[in-house]
Amino acid sequence: MRERLPVEVWVLVAASFIIAVGFGIVAPVLPVYAATFGVGNTAVAALISAFAFVRLAFAPMSGRLVNRFGEPRVYIVGILIVALGTAMCGFASSYAEMLAWRAMAGIGSTMFTVAALGLLIRITPAPMRGRASGLWAAGFLVGNIAGPIVGAGLVPFGLWVPFVSYGLLLCVAAFVVWFFLRRSTLTALDKTNTEAPMSMREAVRHGAYRAALASGFANGWAVFGVRISLVPVFVIEALKHSAVVAGISMSVFAAGNAAMLFLSGRIADTRGRKPVAMAGLFVSGAATVYMGFTGSLWTFMAASLVAGMGAGLLNPPQNAVVADVIGPRGKGGPVLAGFQMVTDLGAIIGPMLTGLLADSFGFEISFAVTGAALLLSLLFWIGAPETLPSHEEEHTAKAVAPESGCLDESAEIPTGERVGGKPSHPEA
């Protein structure tokens, strides 16, 4: 009988799509709106970077909040904070005020990101984590593709409209999560589990977690350093094409990414996390290096497509490994926050370093160094152990059965994951 993902996973996927649509609406408008305050390019870039820096700084606190109050509450509150901060950006009367609201939104962003990943880990049966991660990532990806299209239609009504629209969409996402999970026993905190949360020091001792940190940093660098900041400039300046073509090339990367997410998740859940992650890193790294040496638009598009496919291969097994390391303990807020921080750090360093390399040494070196970072992270995976659990391993809640629903009010609150038929802690 084929296993089915819990209903709660699909709720998170739907919410991620709604959130990503809103983000896609705002992202292209943000620098344009900031420029209306008469500030220079550096100040506009600082507005964008402030969001990432605040996410990085607040991630450890988000991990502690998740362990204290549970993922659903932190998730919903985080979304509402982003909704308020983003909507108020649309009514800002000065650059400084907009910067403050943007920083506030960064706090909420890291709250719901850490909480969402933690909840996805906790409610998904261990042998299905790759598929769940792929679905969740696909929700964000499709939303990010649809968002700019919607945003383009809103701009004629005023530059403030996309910000308010994003705020409203986030409120919808928060309502969806609250409404469908409010009676779920699967997402309820297990108050009988008295085990201490896994610490970063404990997690870093695990070779698989170190591998996930290395690839997360490199992937954050590549995706944000190359796809967001360098690809458009390369298409316009080196290949001599328009901004429209640059946008299409970014969509080609996203298409390659989306094409591999589901396949990657399924293979990672059946054949193992490690081989899929290593394949993704190799494909993405090699294609990224080649992108800088392409001399025509079509070869560049092909390389961009392949790089996107590599990133799509990497994402699900990488997230699944973090979940496997946390394991049956179920309390991994600091560990999740650490993984998120490293990824955000790559996203911060990437744009700055690739831009500096491109200005100083040319596009070829910039792409080559970025691709080399992905390939070097392979070294961490070579020595890492495989973490795929056996399919005999049960989930934390007996309510998750192939033919049963997951929102049954009469179901017992889970008391801990069982491995091999034995309770994972004495209270079970």
Residue 402's pLDDT is what?
Answer: 36
Residue 316, C-beta contacts closer than 8 angstroms, at least 6 positions apart: 130, 131, 133, 134, 137, 261, 264, 265, 268, 276
* Average confidence (pLDDT) per 10 residues, the chain, 428 residues: 73 86 77 76 70 83 83 90 91 89 89 84 78 81 75 77 89 89 69 65 90 93 77 82 75 85 88 93 95 90 92 90 76 79 85 82 90 94 86 40 38 36 33
For 203, the token pair is 């997690």
**What is the CATH architecture assignment of 200-384?**
Up-down Bundle (1.20)
| C-alpha–C-alpha distance, residues 230 and 368, integer Å | 12
DSSP lists the bridge partners of residue 422 as 419
> Dihedral of CA 310/313/316/317: which sign?
negative
| C-alpha–C-alpha distance, residues 89 and 127, integer Å | 42
Residue 391's pLDDT is what?
Answer: 53
**Residue 65, amino acid:** L
Q: How many CB atoms lie within 10 A of CB 423?
A: 13
Residue 150's pLDDT is what?
Answer: 77
**Residue 414, amino acid:** P
User: Which of these, 392, 378, 399, lies nearest to 314 by C-alpha position?
Assistant: 378
> Selecting from 1.20.1250.20, 3.20.20.70, 1.10.10.1100, 3.40.1390.10, what CATH number does the domain 1-183 have?
1.20.1250.20
* Block residue for tokens 């607040």: 58
Q: Where in the chain is the domain with CATH 1.20.1250.20?
A: 1-183, 200-384
Residue 428's pLDDT is what?
Answer: 31
* Spatial contact of 5 and 135, defined as CB atoms under 8 Å apart: yes
